[in-house]
Structure 1
Amino acid sequence: MSAKSSAPAETRGSDPTRSVLERLGRARVVPVVVVDDAEQGLGVARALDDGGLPVAEVTFRTSGARAAIEAITAEHPGMLVGAGTVVNPRQVDQAVAAGATFLVSPGLSAPVVRAAQEAGVPILPGVATASDIMAALDLGITTVKLFPAGVVGGPGAIKALSGPFGQVTFVPTGGVSAANLPDYLGLPSVLAVGGSWMVDQKLVAAGDWAEMTRRTAEAVAVATDLPEGA
């Protein structure tokens, strides 16, 4: 996939990207997972699966993230596993090699986006302003991560940005919780939300998989009952 192509990322090598985005849209909630090793990663994956949400964004904040992605993709081949907090092209290569099928970044970096496009893996770059969105569009990206959503205006910001950027869909992350989940998912331009409340690091450290499953099932129930774009 050529980084110099002017075609949108969603049409260049479109089938894998479209498939991943469609799966994220069906899930509506993307758990943002922070784990220290493969064992914790597998525990979280089982809890999410048991709660009816076979999706995980494993952040590259820890040294064990790559091993966790490898373990999850091996034991849960039906789970959609992505890598988050990808901030440089080297991490793009590591995440893809580990088996990540989508990438998420806290900000917008042209080298990171181009590395993902060259690897044929969809990426959700972080945006916080209209200028960020315009830069993303220049790179062929029309699905972005609004981050940190709660700080930059939450649902109100998405409504405002959707006016001039009607072709853009958002995955707001940062400050999303069980309480405000409907506020975000009720917006027609929101594909899904990213959140960590169901996979809280305290639960991971304690190995409280039952509570993790309970929170996950609760989130799935809310997302399922809420009509898209209500």
Structure 2
Amino acid sequence: MTTHEHSQPGISMADKIAQIDRICGEARILPVITIAREEDILPLADALAAGGLKTLEITLRSEHGLKAIRMLREQRPELCIGAGTVLDRAMLKAVEAAGAQFIVTPGCTQDILEAGVESALPLLPGISSASEIMMGYALGYRRFKLFPAEISGGVAAIKAFGGPFGEVRFCPTGGVNESNLKSYMSQPNVMCVGGTWMFNSEWVKNRDWARIQACSAEALALLD
């Protein structure tokens, strides 16, 4: 299969790489959100957005994921809503139907990579090795999520991947927090980071939206 063989008409891999660059460039920090309670969907998104984090990855790790994507796309159209923890074609189709604007996977299989080529939405595949990068590279992918970032080598791995994969850029996720955020973002091949530290699960449980807003703003301020 060639890179563009199954692409949607008019939406090349180059177009989708440009979309990922714009989404990640504007986000800088991508909150990776698993919704535990349906009533938290809007106030959590509002708190993060008030702190400056307006691009959100809603995972399918809970039963509320698809509903959260649909609700946010309908009721918060000013936000950019992606779908995370997409594991197979069926989940990819479901998040497309829910209105997701981009798709993130925790790892990659040949099938999910090919589904991403076929999709009209940009896909950010998860990788943790050079071999997985090469699988995606062969299909035209140049943007990846390094996951789980810290236990997959962290900043040192990002630097090492920069040698053989000069065109590739990463969104490290997994173990990224306020203490290592700047180290990751200072790497020329890092376009944004994903994380959860700015909305601690206890704060969400206790509906401490003001604290989440403040922590989001503090996280972004570290990058200024």
TM range (shorter): over 0.9
Letter paired with 1:204: V
Match of 2:22 in 1: 22
CA deviation digits over 1:177-216, x for unaligned, max 9? 0111000000000010000111222222221111111111
CA distance in 1, matches of 2:67, 2:37: 6
Amino acid at match of 1:109: T
Identity rate of aligned residues, in percent? 39
Query: Which residue identity does 1:193 align to in structure 2?
Result: V
For 1:1-230, what aligned pairs fall within 5 Å after superposition? 4-7=1-4, 12=12, 14-15=14-15, 17-223=17-223, 225=224
**How big is each residue's C-alpha offset from its partner over 1:132-158, in whole Å with a ceiling of 9 and x where there is no partner?**
111110121100000111001110110
The offset of 1:42, in angstroms, is 1.0
Q: Provide closer, same or farther for how the CA distance between residues 161 and 68 of structure 1 changes in structure 2, counting only shifts above 3 A.
A: same
Write the distance in 1 (CA, Å) between the matches of 2:38 and 2:139.
Answer: 34
**Does the Cα contact within 8 Å between 2:89 and 2:112 map onto a contact in 1?**
yes
Q: Flag the 1:17–1:153 CA change in 2: closer, same or farther, 3 A.
A: closer
Asked whether the 8 Å contact 2:17–2:141 carries over to 1, the reply is: no
* Residue-by-residue CA offset, 1:108-150 (whole Å, 9 max, x unaligned): 1222222233221111111111111111101211000001110
The residue identity in structure 2 corresponding to 1:80 is C
Q: For the Cα contact (< 8 Å) 1:17–1:121, is it kept in 2?
A: no
Q: CA deviation at 1:48?
A: 1.1
Provide structure 1 residue ranges, at least 5 long, that are not aligned to the other structure.
226-230
Which secondary structure does the structure 2 equivalent of 1:187 belong to? coil
Q: Is the 8 A contact 1:81 1:101 kept in 2?
A: yes
State the 1:7 CA deviation: 4.2
CA distance in 2 between partners of 1:16 and 1:62 (Å): 27
CA distance in 2, matches of 1:114, 1:144: 15
CA distance in 2, matches of 1:19, 1:164: 24
Amino acid at match of 2:2: S
**CA distance in 1: counterparts of 2:139 and 2:201, whole angstroms:** 34
Distance 1:137 1:14, change over 3 A: closer
Change (3 A) 1:148 1:16: closer
Residue 23 (structure 1) shift: 2.4
**Deviation of 1:14 (Å):** 4.3
* Cα distance per residue 1:31-82 (max 9 Å; x no partner): 0001034421212110111101111100100011000111111111011100
Letter in 1 for 2:199: V
Residue 228 (structure 1) aligns with: none
TM-score, length basis structure 1: 0.90
Structure 2, unmatched stretches of 5+, are none
Cα RMSD of the aligned pairs, angstroms, is 1.7
**TM-score in terms of structure 2 length:** 0.92
